[in-house]
Amino acid sequence: MSTRPALRRLLAAFCLGGLAGISLAQPSPARQQELIHLVRQDCGSCHGMTLQGGLGPALLPSTLADKPAESLVATIVYGRPGTAMPPWQRFLAEDEAQWIVGRLLEGFPK
Amino acid sequence: MKTVLHLLWLIAAALLLSACAGSLQREGGSAVQLRGTGDLGLVIERASGHVTLVNTSTREAYARVGGLGDLSHASVVYSRDARYAYVFGRDGGLSKIDLLEARIVKRVIQSGNAIGGSISQDGRIVVAQNYTPGGIKAFDAETLELLAEVPAEYAPGKFSKVVGLADVPGNRFAYALFDGGEIWVSDFSDPKKPLTQRFPAGQQPYDGLVTPNGRHYLAGLFGEDGIAMLDLWQPELGARKILEKYGKGEEKLPVFKMPHLRGWSMAAGRAWLPAIGRHDVLMADADTWRERGRVAVKGQPVFVMASPDGRQIWVNFAFPDNGWVQVIDTLSGKVVQTLQPGKAVLHMEFTPRGEAVWISARDDNRVLIYDTRTFRQLGSLTAEAPSGIFFTSRAARIGF
């Protein structure tokens, strides 16, 4: 049981690493804090601060499990036309979006 | 015999006295001070499940109440005696707080995911609006016992998230269905058997408001440019679109936060509304509902709130412009003041007669108090990630 989160993390890392060969540069610790704050507070205005959903869908590991990491990253960066999801590329680099998706898939930090 | 009777009298008198004294004692033994609640209110601390109780005369916090669950996007309505606050939490929690005793008197979990609520004209029914399961639920305002529910099933097996719930005269509630594209009006004259009327409205209504006189219900549309309006005095006419295509030919900006339509946004014979996806406040004539112009502002408006006298409109903005607040003078239709109260301004609330406005700055963990005439800061108080600010003057307003 205890190996499952680790496995999932490995899997997420593998999927992300496979994304068109984009490097897996980790945001700096300070930037990670900013990104966590952004997700909880600003993404949270539609998805809920606890990410259990609101006007937008829930962003919990269980609800995202069947969605390809690549498309989740694209959703963050480019938005989803026809829905209320805006593109966040003004505020996020693609590898930062990848880092966010990786964290969402394993259970987002507080 | 005489002495026994005398003794009995003494005991009875002592009991009576202690009972009287008891009614003035709280559990902890401290006496409850007799006072009104007209200058009280509360501030939501969204991240920690607390509310801070405040006094707008002394401009101070006087108590803090916790254990309220997930308060992100929480909202509050007041009992008609303005003593009790009903707090609607994001996690479906509905808590009734006594402002005088500073404690929770009743709390229920009424749904999985809620977005706010309202209280009936007669003050007896509290209604919550829910995302999951989509619909509204009515509760006895005294006991929080469930009275009735109206699932927002807009097509067989399809349930919509409910937004923009507002109480309207006749113990009715108006609300909009985000997924269903309709405005519904439920009549709770018989609290256990509500009757619901449906009106097609437009694509993705995201919030609603009722005008201060309770006549017009407006639902802002996200899926198209325009606002759906239902005249509740003549519901048979159906909902019609106003301010249609207000951004014709212009590219809509990405929306990083949905605007809110709450607040008195009727002032100087006009309705003042946030333009979605644009850096504008829209003005509509309150008689004809035709566009009367726009005011360019610093970002995408979230709250567009008229002061109680209608002279000013205070506006805050969506991320990333959420450090600013602008003030529009309704006589000239111009921005007359631009303030930077703090980081991540989420809400503003006027004191009952509008001499001051309280502003929450979430990321600074502060509530700032401004003079509405001089725009000088009058004070501030500390609160943990403050969001909504709600004063008891809401108790007497239609639409809250």
Question: Which residues fall within 8 angstroms of residue A74, CB to CB, at 6 or more apart?
Answer: none
For residue range A25-75, what is the model confidence (pLDDT) as tens digits? 799 999 999 999 999 999 998 999 999 999 999 999 999 999 999 999 999
Residue B398 CA to residue B270 CA, distance in Å, equals: 18
Residue scoring higher pLDDT (B213 or B7): B213
Q: Which of A13-22, A36-45, B8-17, B97-106 has the highest mean pLDDT?
A: B97-106
Residue B234 CA to residue B211 CA, distance in Å, equals: 15
Residue B207 lies in a domain: yes
Q: How far is CA B57 from CA A43, B117, B155, B356, B378, in A?
A: 36, 27, 50, 10, 12
Residue B168 lies in a domain: yes
Strand partners, B51: B44, B65
pLDDT higher than 80, residue A7: no
Residue B186 lies in a domain: yes
Probe site for chain A from B68, B73, B162, B203 (most A CB atoms < 10 A): B73
Q: How many CB atoms are located within 10 Å of the residue B71 CB?
A: 27
The answer to whether A49 contacts B206, with C-beta atoms less than 8 Å apart, is no
DSSP state string for B26-52: -TTSPBPPP---TTEEEEEETTTTEEE
Q: What is the mean pLDDT of residues B27-49?
A: 83
Residue B166 CA to residue B19 CA, distance in Å, equals: 42
Q: What is the mean pLDDT of residues B333-342?
A: 98
The answer to whether B362 contacts A41, with C-beta atoms less than 8 Å apart, is yes
The burial class, CB within 10 Å (0-12 / 13-18 / 19+), for B271 is buried
Q: How far is CA B382 from CA A35, B30, B360, in A?
A: 25, 26, 10
Contact status, residue B315 vs residue B265, Cβ threshold 8 Å: no
DSSP state string for chain A: -THHHHHHHHHHHHHHHTSTT---PPPPHHHHHHHHHIIIIIIHHHH-TTSS-SSSPP--HHHHTTS-HHHHHHHHHH--TTSS----TTT--HHHHHHHHHHHHH----
Structural domain including A84 reads 3-106
Provide the sign of the torsion angle of the four alpha carbons B22, B28, B33, B38, taken in this order.
negative
* B38-51 exposure pattern, b = at least 16 Cβ within 10 A, e = fewer: ebbbbbbbbbebbb
Q: What is the mean pLDDT of residues B384-394?
A: 97
Sheet holding B216-221, edge to edge: B205-210, B216-221, B227-231, B240-242
The burial class, CB within 10 Å (0-12 / 13-18 / 19+), for B54 is buried
The answer to whether B113 contacts A54, with C-beta atoms less than 8 Å apart, is yes
Residue B271 lies in a domain: no
The shortest C-alpha distance from B255 to chain A (Å) reads: 6
Residue B136 lies in a domain: yes
pLDDT of residue B25: 44
Q: What is the mean pLDDT of residues B166-191?
A: 97
Domains contained in chain A, number? 1
Domains contained in chain B, number? 1
Residue B141 CA to residue B79 CA, distance in Å, equals: 8
Q: Could you give the percent of chain B with pLDDT greater than 90?
A: 82
Structural domain including B126 reads 110-255
For residue range B64-82, what is the model confidence (pLDDT) as tens digits? 999 999 998 899 999 999 9
Residue B192 lies in a domain: yes
ipTM of the complex: 0.81
Q: How far is CA A15 from CA A5, A73, B317, B368, in A?
A: 15, 11, 37, 46
B48 to chain A: which residues are within 8 Å by CB? none
Contact status, residue B79 vs residue B119, Cβ threshold 8 Å: yes
Residue B211 sits in a domain of what CATH number? 2.130.10.10
Residue B277 CA to residue A89 CA, distance in Å, equals: 17
Probe site for chain B from A35, A39, A43, A55 (most B CB atoms < 10 A): A55
pLDDT higher than 70, residue B31: no
The answer to whether A53 contacts B132, with C-beta atoms less than 8 Å apart, is yes
Residue B260 CA to residue B314 CA, distance in Å, equals: 13
The answer for A 32-71 residues in CB contact with B (under 8 A) is: 37, 41-42, 44-46, 48-50, 52-55
The shortest C-alpha distance from A54 to chain B (Å) reads: 7
Q: What is the mean pLDDT of residues B204-215?
A: 94
The shortest C-alpha distance from A3 to chain B (Å) reads: 30
* Residue in A48, A79, A84 nearest the CB of B72: A48
Q: What is the mean pLDDT of residues B24-35?
A: 59
Residue B232 lies in a domain: yes
pLDDT higher than 50, residue B90: yes
Probe site for chain B from A35, A41, A76, A89 (most B CB atoms < 10 A): A41
pLDDT of residue B245: 77
Residue A81 sits in a domain of what CATH number? 1.10.760.10
* Residue in B132, B222, B363 nearest the CB of A84: B222
Residue B246 lies in a domain: yes
